[in-house]
Homo-oligomer: A and B are copies of this chain.
């Protein structure tokens, strides 16, 4: 069989990894699929740029159409990033019957349904394992491994940059700004870190996981997002003393076919496996009605881990080519999307208040919770003796979000409450 020809859109970090792995694993791919892969054409921005891998210059092009319109190319791997141009190239490639492998979470989160519909129309594969949690085969786990189960909850540490920052803040008692600066120096955070630290990157990945886990066409705008830039070292220290680590978690839940998806810094009980996922590692915790708890852990980014997922997708496309079933193993959402109301979203909560230091204040505070039928798991007053302010930390039992909003609004209006310093969801 002739080698199956692959066109690459982009030759940055991940694209370079794809070339390395395809070249290094030719014999394995051939043994596993009966066909070999050849990277035939690569779109780059500047042909003359020096590169860390040897590619003959006739394979490089600065013109995307040399890939898209190339009749020899069977599979297009999109690793250029960005949205509009990547979307155009992918749709045009599909139009020409080419299969797609992409690592583009932004694109799949925003335009996944449109791209998958086009692929289905054209009988083409679109695989995107690398778009969520780099080297962890979480999409396969959801779509195939747990296909017989009803997923009720997905909790993910799906952004390595923020997990690095939270880990460092926790381990060293350091302040957010200092650790962010260090992460930037090390190349773990971008010069403009907004997309990572404000939770937008995680929200895109949770959109994709929510669609696959709950079989409904979740939109990025359905995800409520809060980042880590307001997390203080005091919050982390209080959390630790009470047995929690603060992690930026994506949380997708489904009950009675009503779903909610959020990204937020969360107090995770130290005994929960997600609490010890440290540094740039990612992990996705999946709860299924039948299977119970499973967790998938691994590198969330990086040249070779991400490229591993891309090449695994390439191998899957090649297997489908050999079987003649491309475009027929798609997993289209079959459930109507119904979002939970605030009344239906519930969790434990951690609340840190600064209050007036006089008799009766604690009674007033707890009375507000009682009025809104929020019951309390624990209340700590003056937990920090070195701090002269009167501080109260409250951990609630499960409380719905509507009630919590009313409680916080009432605190905001009370003279004895000087400030609501922090509010976190609690898990584990």
How many chain A residues touch B (Cβ–Cβ < 8 Å)?
Answer: 56
Nearest chain B residue, comparing its CB with the CB of A22: B148
A338 within 8 A of B: no
**Chain B nearest Cβ from A306, distance in angstroms:** 9
* A199 at the binding interface (Cβ < 8 Å): no
Q: Looking at the complex, which of A23-31, A161-169, A261-269, A367-375 is the stretch in contact with chain B? A: A23-31
- Given contacts A291-B305, A304-B290, is CB(A334)–CB(B31) below 8 Å? yes
Contact present for B137 and A145 (CB under 8 Å)? yes
Given contacts A296-B296, A319-B329, A323-B323, contact A148 B291 (CB under 8 A): no
Inter-chain contact A291/B295, CB cutoff 8 Å? no
Is the CB of A227 closer than 8 A to any CB of chain B? Answer: no
- Contact residues in B for A17 (Cβ distance below 8 Å): 290
Would you list which residues of chain A between 49 and 87 have a CB under 8 Å from chain B? none
Contact, CB under 8 Å: A148 / B311: yes
Interface residues of A in 128-167 (CB under 8 A from B): 129, 135-137, 140-141, 144-150
Q: Is the CB of A32 within 8 A of B331?
A: yes
- Are A298 and B291 within 8 A (Cβ)? yes
**What does the 1/0 interface line of A285-296 toward B look like (CB < 8 Å)?**
000111111111
Whether A315 lies near B135 (C-beta < 8 A) is no
Chain A residues 90 to 136 lying within 8 A of chain B, measured CB to CB, are: 129, 135-136
Tell me, in angstroms, the Cα distance from A271 to B273 when the chains sit together.
12
Q: Is A215 an interface residue, CB under 8 A from the partner? A: yes
* A18 nearest CB neighbor, chain B only: B148
Report if A297 contacts B (CB, 8 A).
Answer: yes
Interface residues of A in 293-316 (CB under 8 A from B): 293-299, 302, 304-305, 307-312, 314-316
**Minimum CB distance partner of A20 in chain B:** B290
**Could you say which residues of chain B place their CB within 8 Å of the CB of A32?**
147, 331, 334
Across the interface, do A299 and B308 meet the contact criterion of CB distance under 8 Å? Answer: no
> In the complex, are the beta carbons of A290 and B141 less than 8 A apart?
no
Known: A21-B290, A145-B312. A31 touches B215 (CB 8 A): yes
Q: Is A276 part of the contact surface with B, judged by Cβ < 8 Å?
A: yes
Instruction: Provide the bound-state CA to CA distance between A276 and B283, in Å.
Output: 15
Interface assignment of A389: CB less than 8 Å from any CB of chain B:
no
A28 vs B151: C-alpha distance in the bound complex, in angstroms? Answer: 11
Contact B296 A308 (CB under 8 A): no
Nearest Cβ on chain B to A185's Cβ, whole angstroms: 23
- Does chain B have a CB within 8 A of A242? no
Task: Judge whether A325 is part of the interface by a CB distance below 8 angstroms.
Answer: yes
Does A328 lie at the interface of the complex (its beta carbon under 8 Å from any beta carbon of B)?
A: yes
Contact residues in B for A299 (Cβ distance below 8 Å): 291-294
Chain B residues whose CB sits within 8 angstroms of the CB of A305 once the complex forms? 290-292
Interface set of A (CB-CB < 8 Å, partner B): 17, 21, 24-25, 28-29, 31-32, 129, 135-137, 140-141, 144-150, 215, 273, 276, 288-299, 302, 304-305, 307-312, 314-316, 319, 323, 325, 328-329, 331, 334-335
Starting from the known contacts A147-B316, A323-B329, 7 additional A-B residue pairs (CB-CB under 8 Å) come to A17-B290, A25-B148, A135-B291, A144-B315, A290-B304, A290-B305, A291-B298
26 residue pairs bridging A and B, Cβ less than 8 Å apart: A32-B334, A135-B288, A137-B144, A140-B140, A140-B141, A140-B144, A140-B145, A141-B145, A144-B312, A148-B311, A148-B314, A149-B312, A273-B297, A290-B307, A291-B298, A291-B304, A292-B304, A293-B298, A294-B299, A295-B295, A296-B296, A296-B297, A319-B329, A323-B328, A323-B329, A325-B325
